[in-house]
Amino acid sequence: MSDSSGHPTAASPLLDTKLYIPQRRSTAVPRPRLIERLDEGTERNLTLVSAPAGFGKTTLLAEWLGGPAASKRPAAWLSLDRGDNNLELFWAYVITALQGVRPELGENTLSSLRSSQSPPNEWVVTTLINDITAIDGEFSTGSGSKLTLILDDYHVIEAEPVHRSVTFLLEHLPPQMHLVVATRSDPPLPLARLRARGELTELRAADLRFAPDEAAAFLNEVMGLDLASADVAALERRTEGWIAGLQLAALSMQGRADVPRLVRAFAGDDRYVVDYLVEEVLRRQPDHIRGFLLQTSILDRLSGPLCDAVTGREDGQQLLTTLERGNLFVVPLDDKRRWFRYHHLFADALRVHVAEEQPTGMPVLHRRASAWCERNGQPSEAVQHALAGEDFGRAAGLVELAGRAMLIGQQDAVFLGWLKMLPDELVRTRPVLCVYYALALVSFDPEAAEGRLRDVERLVDMAVQGSEWPAGAAGEMVVHDDEGFGSLRGMIAIVRAYRAGALGDVPGIVYYARQAWQLLPEDDHLWRGAAGGLLGLAHWTSGDLEAAYRALADAWASLRMTGDSQEVSSAFVLADIRVAQGRLSEAARLYEQALHRAAGTGGSIPPPAADLYVGLGELSCEHGDLEGASRYLQRSKELSEHGGIAEHRHRWFVAMARIEEARGDLDGALDLLDEAERVYVSSPAPDVRPIAALKTRVWVRQGRLAEALGWARERGLSVDEHLSYLREFEHITLARVLIASHKRHQEEGPLRDAMALLERLRDTAEAGERTGSLIEILTVQALAHEAQADVAGALAPLERALTLAQPERYVRTFVGEGQTMRTLLRHAAAGGIASAYTQRLLAAIDESAQPVSTAAQVAPGLAEPLTGREVEILRLIATGMRNQEIANHLFISLSTVKRHIANAYRKLDVSHRTQAVARINELNLL
């Protein structure tokens, strides 16, 4: 039976399947935190579960009703569809659902609904409320035994009479009853009033999305993928915890061998995602909403005015508010609801769809967006949209205007990415852009940078001479950055000075930096500061540290006049110089002051400041505070994940390697130094502590003398060669290698050479006032005398080293020398040398952990012993960690983990994990 419009009425047959409570899935991921929220919600009138399609609303409610407390919770379920917009039919279904809990409930009301007369709206609900209230003793007011009515898929209800009747029910809800509404969009119910009264519990997309542990359980246990935690985390980030997204990802990967690659590639253009979102979301929208979604999908961030500029409409803010209220995968980015973004997968799917439907229209949309962003002070977004819209001439101008800010803001990689998207013939007609290009390239590809500079010089010379540009070029010379053009020749010299620094050409740095100083305008504080900084770096490379410090401090003062303080770079370099001078406390102050200034008034530390924490970690390690050093490095790691300075990235691994070495894990230290080599990027700053030399020192401690001697030969090191600050650390390392060689072979020649070299090194360090170097040289001299059984001879340099080190609280420099230093310090203490300080160092040696990797792990039945690192990795395998998880845990690369595992398996004579775990259990290595 239907009404006059053809819609079903209460007298029509009712579908029983709409009243069934969905079965709780045995494979569902347990969600105790949400179940607890639902339990608590029964204390209030309404629980609203509001989230987009695929967030597991129905599954969650089914789990709740099917849980241990289900028998105590009388519940009625109604799955709504669009036919339920008829008021009488809606309430007929509600009452029938309730009768599944108590058969006589609402019987008179249901009879009236089935009669030919349509009763008034409020009469139906009032009668039902009275019926529920009259059932005395059946339902208590306790949260566990209230009558619960679940209205699932409420978003299909559009009829205002139905909304009014449900509002009436909520406003007069009996204390024995609780209402749950599950919906894809917020219903027009008095939510604000209920919220203010404390009568509303809300579960939204942010609550429903899977947490990382839930995503892991779903993907591995339910979908059977057996993914590593890193892959799970990547999918969780990509889908933003959207459950349907995770399921679609899993479906696309089941039975595939290249799962890690698929994880990396998974996006909104995956066929499952596109099909789902188009079917479940896009096709259900009115034309004007659908058009708005497709046109604005090109935007990473959305605001009303920006959307208006792109679409040509004037209702952007209103539509964004509508989309948010409708849970259409829109995420607010600020508290005032002015800026939004689409869920990443939703945006990807929209872009796929618009590319198919309107391929020729997308460039126009991007150009509109670019123009708006340029007018509204968003240069990066303006560039990106201009490039996407293939408006390359305009993009080149925008990139040129942004170049100075990008380069001084340490955004070289982003800047290079833009430049590589521009046609080369276009770039070559823009001299300022070419110079910026060269400056961005110089640390990565010095030769390519020089090629760009030659292009600029040819272009400028031809412009001066009135010559024509070569055939095939994109036209006459173009300049957007007039200020940059005025400094063009000086900037060319600056780039060449940087290039000389990257190539280790110290005279070249001096020559081109002075040339730049002469060519640059007086008021160009930025590039004159850069020229002064390069001169300072040249002094540093030459070992004149005080001159370097003054020049660099003056250079950064000049840079501050431009508003660019370069806090991180300046502090990092100046602190390095102070450390080399043995002035550790001043270095710490530089780091701490820079951190304070970098935080500014907002108190948040920018990502490039990660390097400052590395510096503080290095100082803490030298002071013997390994736990404090680890905390600093962890803070640095957290920041550097969001950005950082490429030239400094290797220092984190070097600092962490020193901590591992101090803890006795020499294999772990070498792994970290391997990682440092992998990420190392050359820079104008002198590389005065080469990673290869650091590795050699670890080899010496491990007794791997052949490798250490091989390094010395490869570097061409000699005890007789000219000494320079740039190779000072390597020469001190060579002395250590020679002393170790004497101890191994008991030959006097290597020890005699080492002692002669150390005397020369001591003299040059004293002349250069490099106290930090001098302390180590004196310490190694003491070790050389001890190797000769000359304790008296050892105490003289040791006493001087202690005297220089005590004010700055050096610890690791002495403690790291182990038992030999312990013996010498005992002799020093007995002779009254720096007695209090000496006693502290002795205590530190006694408290230091015993090495875990210097001795191999020997077990019966093994032809070749396992290294400490191999045992550590085997133990992690036994806990269930996968290779990538082990790499993340140990801060080493996946390839390094695989190499250790291969070596361990070979020694254990096994071929896979299960055998390895059984074997190490058998050998008692766990």
Instruction: Dump the DSSP string for 882-918.
Output: -HHHHHHHHT--HHHHHHHHHHHHHHHT--SHHHHHH
Q: Phi and psi at residue 149, in whole multiples of 5°?
A: -110, 120
- Res 858 pLDDT > 60: no
Q: At 360, is the pLDDT very low, low, confident or very high (cuts 50, 70, 90)?
A: confident
Which pLDDT tens digit goes with each residue over 783-829?
999 999 999 999 999 999 999 999 999 999 999 999 999 999 999 99
pLDDT at 473 over 60: no
Query: CA-to-CA distance for 906 and 865, rounded, in angstroms?
Result: 11
What's the confidence (pLDDT) of residue 185?
A: 85
Count the alpha carbons within 13 Å of 562 in the hemisphere toward its beta carbon: 20
Name the more confident of 251 and 227: 227
Please, which residues bridge with residue 181 across strands? 48, 151
Give the rounded percent of residues in the chain with a pLDDT score beyond 70. 85
Can you tell me the mean pLDDT for 98-103? Answer: 88
Whole-number Å distance between alpha carbons of 637 and 241: 24
Q: Which residue would you say has higher pLDDT here, 330 or 759?
A: 759
The conformation of residue 143, written as its DSSP 8-state character, comes to T
Strand partners, 183: 50
Which pLDDT tens digit goes with each residue over 269-284?
556 666 666 666 677 7
Averaged pLDDT of the chain: 83
Angle at 570 between CA 569 and CA 576, to 5 degrees: 90
Contacts of 225 (CB under 8 A, 6+ apart): 219, 250, 253, 254, 259
Distance CA 738, CA 92 (A): 95
Give the confidence band of 470 by pLDDT, cuts at 50, 70, 90: very low
Residue 39, pLDDT > 70, answer yes
CB 733 within 8 A of CB 693: yes
Q: pLDDT grade, residue 458 (50/70/90)?
A: confident
At 472, the pLDDT band (50, 70, 90 cuts) reads very low
- Which pLDDT score, from 0 to 100, does residue 919 have? 83
What residue ranges in 254-380 does DSSP mark as E strands? Answer: 330-332, 340-342
In single-letter form, the type of residue at position 308 comes to D
pLDDT per position as a tens digit, 874-894? 888 888 788 888 877 776 777
In whole angstroms, what is the distance from residue 290 CA to residue 354 CA?
Answer: 10
Helix axes of 610-622 and 649-662: crossing angle, nearest 10 degrees = 20
Residue 849 φ then ψ, to 5°: -70, 150
Residue 99's closest CA among 111, 117, 116?
Answer: 111
Residue 492's Cβ-count burial label (10 Å; 0-12, 13-18, 19+) is buried
Does 854 have pLDDT greater than 50? no
CB atoms < 10 A from the CB of 447, how many?
10
Mean pLDDT over residues 156-166, rounded? 90
75-79 and 177-183 beta bridge pairing: unpaired
pLDDT at residue 851, as a whole number: 44
User: Is residue 902 over pLDDT 50?
Assistant: yes
Looking at residue 341, its pLDDT comes to 81
Higher pLDDT, 841 or 142: 841
Burial 23-38 (b: 16+ CB within 10 A, else e): eeeeebbebeebbebb
**Looking at this protein, which amino acid is placed at residue 233?**
A
Q: Which has the closest alpha carbon to 569: 603, 538, 534, 541?
A: 534
Which range (131-145, 306-320, 520-534) has the least confidence? 131-145
Write the DSSP assignment of 747-793 as a string of letters: -HHHHHHHHHHHHHHHHHHHHTT-HHHHHHHHHHHHHHHHHTT-HHH
Element (H, E) at 78: strand 75-79
Task: Inform me whether the pLDDT recorded for 249 exceeds 80.
Answer: no
User: Which residues have CB under 8 Å from 437's CB, separation 6+?
Assistant: 416, 419, 427, 452
Q: Residue 441 above 80 pLDDT?
A: yes
Which residues have CB under 8 Å from 842's CB, separation 6+?
Answer: 822, 825, 826, 829
pLDDT in the model for residue 852: 42
Query: What residues contact 351, with CB distance under 8 A and at least 6 apart?
Result: 268, 269, 297, 298
- DSSP secondary structure letter of residue 863: S
Instruction: Scan for tokens 């608590």, then name that residue.
Output: 40
Work out the average pLDDT over 594-604: 73
Tokens of 855: 């001795």
Lowest mean pLDDT among 337-346, 430-439, 708-717, 902-911: 337-346
- Say what the pTM is: 0.54
Tell me, what's the pLDDT at 449? Answer: 85
User: Of 769, 700, 330, whose CA–CA distance to 543 is shortest?
Assistant: 769
Judged by average pLDDT, the poorest of 267-281, 484-498, 604-618, 689-703 is 267-281
Length of the chain: 926
Tell me, what's the pLDDT at 471?
41
Residue type, 579: V
Return the residue matching tokens 């005397």.
759
> Beta partners for 340?
302, 332
Residue of 600, 545, 534, 591 whose CA lies nearest to 568: 591
| Confidence check: pLDDT of 265 > 80 | no
> How crowded is residue 58: how many other Cβ atoms within 10 Å of its Cβ?
16
pLDDT in tens, 45-64: 999 999 877 788 888 898 89
Q: Letter for the amino acid at 771?
A: T
Average pLDDT over residues 673-696: 89
Instruction: Return the HEC string of 679-724.
Output: HCCCCCCCCCCCHHHHHHHHHHHHCCHHHHHHHHHHCCCCCCCCCC
Give pLDDT tens digits for 641-658: 655 567 788 999 999 999
pLDDT tens digits, 415-429: 888 888 999 888 888
Instruction: Tell me the helix, strand and coil percentages in the chain, rounded to 5.
Output: 65, 5, 30
* Ranges 197-201, 251-255, 320-324, most confident: 197-201
Looking at residues 159-179, what average pLDDT do you find? 91
Using CB atoms within 10 A of its CB, is residue 377 exposed (0-12), middle (13-18) or buried (19+)?
A: exposed
Residue 652: other Cβ atoms inside 10 A: 24
Q: Is the pLDDT of residue 311 over 50?
A: yes
Confidence (pLDDT) at 595: 87
Percent of the chain with pLDDT over 90: 33
Q: Please write down the long-range contacts of 127-130, taking CB distance under 8 Å and 24 or more positions apart.
A: 128/91, 128/94, 128/95, 128/98, 128/169, 129/169, 129/172, 129/173, 129/174
Q: What are the structure tokens assigned to 803, written together?
A: 């005297």
- The pLDDT tens digits of the residues spanning 206-240 come to 888 888 888 888 777 777 777 777 777 777 777 77
The residue among 69 and 347 whose pLDDT is bigger is 347
Q: Which two tokens stand for residue 597?
A: 């200034």
Per-residue tokens: 684: 């104008």
**Residue 9: predicted pLDDT:** 52
State residue 463's pLDDT score. Answer: 62
The pLDDT, as a whole number, for residue 183 is 92
pLDDT value, residue 482: 66
- The residues, any chain, with a CB within 8 Å of residue 672's CB and separated by 6 or more, are 653, 654, 656, 657, 660, 891, 892
- CB contact set of 815 (below 8 Å; sequence gap of 6+): 624, 662, 821, 841, 844, 845, 848
Distance CA 371, CA 308 (A): 12
**Beta bridge mates, 839:** none
Q: How far is the C-alpha of 57 from the C-alpha of 749, rounded, in Å?
A: 80
